[in-house]
Structures are given as C-alpha cells and as structure tokens.
Amino acid sequence: MHIPDGFLTPAISALSLIISGPVIVYSLKKTRMGLDEKAVPLMALLTALFFAAQMMNYPVIGGTTAHFLGGASLALLLGPYAGCVSMTIIIVLQCLLFGDGGITALGANLLNMAVISVFIPTYIYSAVRKLGGGQTLGVVAGTFLGDVLAAVSAGVLLGLSTPVFQYGLEVAVPAMAINHSVIGAAEAIFTALLIQFLIKAKPEILTLSTPLNVSEVKIK
C-alpha cells in the first residue's frame, strides 16, 4: 500500500497532505496530553512489530504493494490518537530510511495507513459493541473494513492520478480491494488473537482508557 514517488499528480499529493496533516497534528496533541504512562511500553512494542510486518510486502498489479497494516491493533490497544501517531512514525521511518513509499506521496500514505486504517476500525468496533456484538466480532469487523477501506482509498488516489499513473480507477481500485480483502481477513484473525493474547499476558491493558475498555467510543 506504500505509494512511491511519481505515481500521484501534485494535486492529489497536496490534497492528501491537507487532509491527513491536521488529523496527525491533532493526534499528536491528544497523545501528548492524554497517553497513559503504562501504555508507552506497549506503544513501543506495537510500533516495532508493525514496522517489521509492513516491510514484508508484495507488488500489486494496480501499481502499489499489499501487506499487513496493523492500524486496528494500534487503535484498539492504544486508542486512535496514539495509534495514529504510532503509524505515522512507522510510515515516515520506512519512507526516509528504506525508501518504502515516496516522499511526495507521504501525505497519501499517511492518509491511507495512519488515518483511515486507524480511525475506521475504532468507529466500526464502537458500532458493533453498541449493537450488542461481542469484542471479537468488533475486532474482526473493524480490522477487515479498516484494511479494505484504506486499500480502496489508495486505489482511488492512484486512479485519479492518470495520466501520471498508468491505470485508471477501474483497475487500481479493484486490484487494491481484492488483494487487501484477503490480507484483511487474515489480519482480522491475527488481530483478534493478538488482542486476546495480550489481555491474558498483560491484563493491566484493560485498565487503560482505550476502545477495548469502553462500550461507546467518543472521538472529540
């Protein structure tokens, strides 16, 4: 899902940054003001885990790559704001240190992976719990839909960048959605198992103020 340089028009790159930038800045502010000290080691662990997981990717015919995201795990275990900050760190470091994702496409990659793949699972999880669904159902639904919608967003940005990008919406969007539907299903199972493991290994996680511990998530 890391879009490289030269795949997006300047207008799409700028628009992506205009959308994602304020969300990330606000998330930094909220994290600095409200992150529980007990969550810091977990945040470091999850950031390292998904930094490594995202480095294992494969090319997609639509012009980008497919891989695990980790946005749902970060959002549900840390809260969406800290999750957004954690994913931003991952994306920026991958871009600057390994060239995984272009500098000119940084705003787009942050929009897809640090905003959509983090905040969407939070809202979906909250909606499932409000409707009476269990924790596992909320985690699975949030993870899957977060992955797919982030991938669809990447496909839309690429498809709207023709003729700079060689494929239109009719190719880019299905290619991203289909590949990440498969990955999203696998990641949904992985995320549910990871959360259950961490809760058993570190039950103090349930004392943190995160979406896992409240039936109604309010993002202000």
Query: Which of 88, 95, 92, 158 lies closest to 117 in space, CA to CA?
Result: 88
Q: Report d(CA 211, CA 125) in Å as an integer.
A: 8
Query: Which of 148, 168, 150 lies closest to 159 in space, CA to CA?
Result: 168
Tens digit of each residue's pLDDT (9 = 90 or more) over 140-185? 999 999 999 999 999 999 999 999 998 899 999 998 899 889 899 9
Give backbone dihedrals phi and psi of 216, rounded to 5 degrees, phi first.
Answer: -130, 120
Token pair listed for 213 = 């511990």
Token pair listed for 114 = 């640090």
Q: Which fold has domain 10-213?
A: Arp2/3 complex 21 kDa subunit ARPC3 (1.10.1760)
Of 163 and 64, the structure prediction assigns the larger pLDDT to: 163
Residue 213 has pLDDT above 50, yes or no: yes
Residue 191 has pLDDT above 90, yes or no: yes
Structural domain boundaries in the chain: 10-213
Residue 62 has pLDDT above 70, yes or no: no
Residue 77 has pLDDT above 50, yes or no: yes
Tens digit of each residue's pLDDT (9 = 90 or more) over 88-131? 999 999 999 999 899 999 999 999 999 999 999 999 999 999 99
Q: Report d(CA 12, CA 108) in Å as an integer.
A: 8
Token pair listed for 189 = 């199972």
Cα 38 to chain centroid, rounded: 23
